[in-house]
Amino acid sequence: MKAKDRLIVALDVDSRDEAMAIVRDVGAHCGLFKVGMQLHNSAGFSVTEEIMALGYPVFLDLKFHDIPNTVGKAASVVSRRGVKMFTVHAAGGQEMLRRAVQGAQEAQKAQGSGTAGVPLVLAITVLTSLSQGVLNDEVGYGGTVEENVVRFARLAQAAGVPGVVASPREIEPIRAACGDDFVIVTPGVRPTWAATNDQARVMTPAEAMEAGASYLVVGRPITAAPDRAEAARRVAEEMAEGLARRVK
């Protein structure tokens, strides 16, 4: 897989027109587009379908977190719609996670597309905006960020979830705990030439890929750039540098 195929561009915008302009600008320079709550709640599922109709895979980041039955049915719905990846919160517990995987698998089986068409279920560990102090003092979790991320990753893996979303700072301990085949999708990535914005635990694209990330999610450094295509190319180049160092 080429470095650019591991780049997920986040469409964190308010409208279908804004999103599709970004898709047109950078579609040739990335692997997937992320549709999150902001765009989904503004434009509905139709924008995801429009992106997929152009041949681009979609990472649907709605972070399902509810009772197991509800999450399982939601997983089935989005799987039938053809998304490549979607997210659930690991904090929902093992049964909820298990039902999400089952919902995805059963939806694809019903459509006759086999296991190759099953979307990648990803468990949210600790949001990249959360610092150590916020995690302990406000959210109320004991232990370090790293300890909580690894605990959630192990929980997800035990439930049959094939991967997690985690900051680049926790890639290496997740790899050590869950193995080389476990998928790690990494937001909180900022090139040296971009601002960190509201991310608390960041790395450069090269550092994150060298550390063992499977995919990187990048938003504003690309979508807010004067030349989006050039920004995406620069990020992919940095990712390729990190991958080259990782395989040596």
Residues in the annotated binding site for substrate: 12, 34, 61-70, 128, 190, 199, 219-220
Contact between 239 and 206 (Cβ < 8 Å): yes
Active-site pick, 5, 63, 73, 109: 63
- Judge contact between 220 and 191, C-beta under 8 A: no
For 100-214, list the strands marked E by DSSP: 120-124, 163-165, 183-186
CA pair distance 132, 108, nearest whole angstrom: 39
Chain-centroid distance, C-alpha 116 = 19
Please state, in angstroms and as integers, the Cα–Cα distance from residue 200 to each residue in 56, 69, 120, 129, following that order. 30, 33, 26, 5
User: Tokens representing 30?
Assistant: 């990335």
Helix (H) or strand (E) segment spanning residue 42: helix 37-43
Residues making up the binding site: 12, 34, 61-70, 128, 190, 199, 219-220
66 noted as active-site residue: yes
Q: Nearest Cα to 85, choosing from 108, 49, 119?
A: 119
**Cα–Cα distance, 5 to 188 (Å, whole number):** 18
Tokens, residue 126: 């600790």
Q: From the candidates 4, 14, 17, 61, which is the catalytic residue? A: 61
* Contact predicate 47/13, CB 8 Å: no
List the catalytic residue out of 5, 66, 73, 109: 66
Taking each continuous run of H as one helix and of E as one strand, the counts in the chain are 11, 8
* Cβ(86)–Cβ(62) below 8 Å: yes
* Catalytic sites, residue numbers: 61, 63, 66
